[in-house]
Amino acid sequence: MTIGQAAIGRIFREEYGRSLATLIGVFDDIDVAEDAVQEAFAVALIKWPAEGLPPNPGGWITVTARNRAIDRLRRQTRERRLLGDVTILVPDREPEEQDPVPDDRLKLIFTCCHPALSAEAQVALTLRLLGGLSTDEVARSFLVAELAMAQRLVRAKRKIKAASIPYRIPADHELPGRLPPVLAVIYLIYTTGLSGPEERGLCAEAIRLARLLTALMPSAAEVAGLLALLLLIESRRAARTRPDGSLILLGDQDRLQWDRSLIAEGQAIVRRCLLHDRPGLYQLQAAINAVHADAPTAAHTDWPQIIALYDHLYALAPTPVVALNRAIAIAEVHGPAIALALIDQLDLDHYYPFHAARADLLRRLDRHREAATAYQRAADLAPDGPERDFLTRGGR
């Protein structure tokens, strides 16, 4: 079967992280692995359209990349010691295509999200090394020049080497501290993708990474909770904006536009998480979104259940942001005055959703002048995009 460049590009995105993770495990060098995988895909662009797709494209890429890396190291006498190490693992005969070890990708996720790296570097490396995004694509997601992003990626990889950050899955006793940054990076990738239509590829990438992590860690309820949360948020994408790009609030959305298949998948994951009886931050947030998805109309939303879930969430994470969202739910049961009194106790002056929530409650209390001021404050703090436009228009 012949194959076009677009299809090869899709395979590249799907298999890049798998092949790269395998080769890093073999050569213990991110740069060597990256160069080899890039070369293998360049060969694929020439061979596959003419010869057809191999039975196992991922295995073909991995084997080709591994052979390319070995050939390069053999030509570099300064790398002969490393070559001696890897030739024990890779015989001279042509190896058969095989599926790479899945745990290699899990090792790479934890390497990218090591706490020694900045949050920005964690996100950038995850997108580049596991997501297969080009440096230019990663740069666009950060709104910086490609050269600047290339330099950041180089510095991050140097830090991994200089700090001897281990390429391994953390031990069981380390996982409770190491898993949250990994989940936070994937969630941040998704929320970045919500900022505008040009960034939607990041949403898809975050969901793909969450699926990957779920497959690699099937017993980790919080990983499953993150996947469920992303699926349930994603299910509402089509209803979130009008054709002109303006924002539609949750209560005003056309629920017939919600993706019922994503909702069904997300809710099924939430139900499975309940069986573990180990509620966590992402599981509870997913459960809250599952309750919203159950309601055929905004008026049928089970707000008391949502408040109860926020109570559990606040017990685990007593942050001002959780308190803000809990107060918004309380407004639907006990009225805007009680909710406003709760919100006004929070120290969130530089958080635009805080001012947006205050503005809405003030409007509902007919305190329109104060509401206008709060809307303006929220708009000043909000990033460019539909939310800022909505707030600039005074919530209309």
The pTM (predicted TM-score) of the whole model is: 0.74
Contact status, residue 190 vs residue 230, Cβ threshold 8 Å? yes
- For 167, residues 6+ apart whose C-beta sits below 8 A from its C-beta are 24, 25, 28, 107, 108, 111
Q: Which CATH number fits domain 319-396: 2.60.40.10, 1.25.40.10, 3.40.50.2300, 1.10.10.10?
A: 1.25.40.10
Q: Where in the chain is the domain with CATH 1.10.1740?
A: 5-100
Contact status, residue 326 vs residue 343, Cβ threshold 8 Å? no
Q: Which two tokens stand for residue 157?
A: 């990889």
Q: Where in the chain is the domain with CATH 1.25.40.10?
A: 319-396
Q: Residue 75's CB: how many other CB atoms inside 10 A?
A: 9
Q: Which neighbouring-strand residues pair with 247? A: 241
Q: What is 5-100's CATH number?
A: 1.10.1740
DSSP letters of 184-221? Answer: HHHHHHHHHHTT-GGGHHHHHHHHHHHHHHHHH-TT-H
Contact status, residue 83 vs residue 70, Cβ threshold 8 Å? yes
DSSP assignment letter at 173: T
Residues 176-185: tens digit of each pLDDT: 788 888 898 8
pLDDT at 302: 97
Mean pLDDT by 10 residues, the chain (396 residues): 71 82 87 89 88 86 90 68 52 42 73 86 85 79 82 90 83 80 86 65 83 86 96 94 86 94 97 88 96 94 97 95 96 96 94 94 95 94 84 85
Residues 14-53: tens digit of each pLDDT: 788 888 888 888 888 888 888 999 899 888 888 888 888 8
